[in-house]
Amino acid sequence: MTHTHTERPARATGTGPSPGEDPSDEAPLGASRAERLSALAQQHGALVTLLLVAIGASIGFDTFLTGDNLENMAVSSAFLAIVALGMTFVIITGGIDLSVGSLFALGGVLGAWGSQYGTLVALLLPLAVCGLIGLVNGLLIAKARLAPFIVTLAAMLAARGILLAITDEGSNTYLVDEKSFFASLGQEKLLGVGVPVWITAALFVAGAVMLRRSRFGQYVYAVGGNEDAAALMGAPVARTKIAVYTLSGLCAGLAGALNAAWLVSGVTILGTGMELEAIAAVVIGGTLLTGGFGFISGSLVGVLLLKVIQNVINQIGSLDSAYQQVVSGAFLAVVVIAQTWLGRRRRMM
């Protein structure tokens, strides 16, 4: 473990190529072939699997490679992807955020309710509330030093409670005016691609730059690698942790609001289990749950992989959605086993 950790800050500070382009900066100099291969597998395993599944699906089903299906997959992936983006930062610091599913639903309801006062309110209200809950998470974790798992669990309950309270115990669904600019953020297309997809792409580019090139990004890796060492190096550990949980809350709130714009209503029952999907996507994308190592692009691949698998299961048709859960769970288990195994191999060398 210490091996993987000690290389992280150096990696993060490097002005090297973008995430995972060059596996040699992963493996120490003079690394053996096997070691390079396992490093490569850890970084690009998800991408290779995604390509294989996608190729298989396009051969197997005529309906897979159609514009409509791809567009549909892209838009429905966009919301989970934004949540996973925030989650990636949290997990790289060695934490976890179980509240994102509730915050996603809360963001959607607040966005739909706020849309009657204009697009600005529809976007800023979910961001403010979900960001604030994320901030409280961060404060409790960084300042009061409580376990992230428990704090965000409590936030998950509390956010769901707030959501129920503002919707008359879930009975009241707020609708978005279909002609409003806010609705167009979810529904319009730009160059044939849905606006949520563009927004997601922009956020991922911004997130990747932030993680790879900014001082904040260095701190995120350093805190996840070794908190004590990071503190000794002068990294603002508490502030970094507070920032990532706030960021995660903001992402979940934004994703929820955009989802409400897409559905033109704030649906109260959304988001259950989404934290698990997001964590699964991040882990499948190669980010280590122990912290200190990971990349944004991997999480995007993880989301797409989950969505493609869901799509394939839907295409098979005779299999109902329960199989999605079986396959996703089994898939997560396989990936984690592979990751642990690859990680151990590299550590031993």
Q: Which residues bind another protein (CB under 8 A)?
A: 96, 140, 144-147, 149-151, 153-158, 160-165, 169, 272-273, 276, 279-280, 283, 289-290, 320, 322-330, 332-333, 336-337, 340-341, 344
Least Å distance, CB 308 to another protein, is 17
Least Å distance, CB 18 to another protein, is 27
Task: Provide the CB-side half-sphere exposure for 307 (13 A, CA).
Answer: 22
Q: Which is nearer to another protein, 191 or 269 (CB)?
A: 269
- Taking residue 22's Cβ as centre, other Cβ atoms within 10 Å add up to 11
Q: In sequence order, what are the residues at sequence separation of 6 or more whose Cβ sits closer than 8 angstroms to the Cβ of residue 142?
A: 237, 238, 239, 241, 242
Q: Which is nearer to another protein, 213 or 344 (CB)?
A: 344
Q: Which is nearer to another protein, 118 or 329 (CB)?
A: 329
Q: Which residue has the tokens 């639903």?
A: 105
Q: Which residues pair with 174 in a beta bridge?
A: 266
Least Å distance, CB 320 to another protein, is 7
Q: Which is nearer to another protein, 244 or 282 (CB)?
A: 282
What stretches of the chain show up as alpha helix (H) in DSSP? 2-13, 33-60, 67-92, 100-114, 119-142, 148-166, 181-187, 195-213, 215-225, 227-232, 237-263, 274-284, 296-316, 322-348
Least Å distance, CB 215 to another protein, is 29
Q: Which is nearer to another protein, 217 or 224 (CB)?
A: 224
Q: Which is nearer to another protein, 282 or 296 (CB)?
A: 282
Q: How far apart are CA 212 and CA 298, in angstroms?
A: 14
Least Å distance, CB 244 to another protein, is 18
Least Å distance, CB 169 to another protein, is 5
Q: How far apart are CA 174 and CA 172, in angstroms?
A: 6
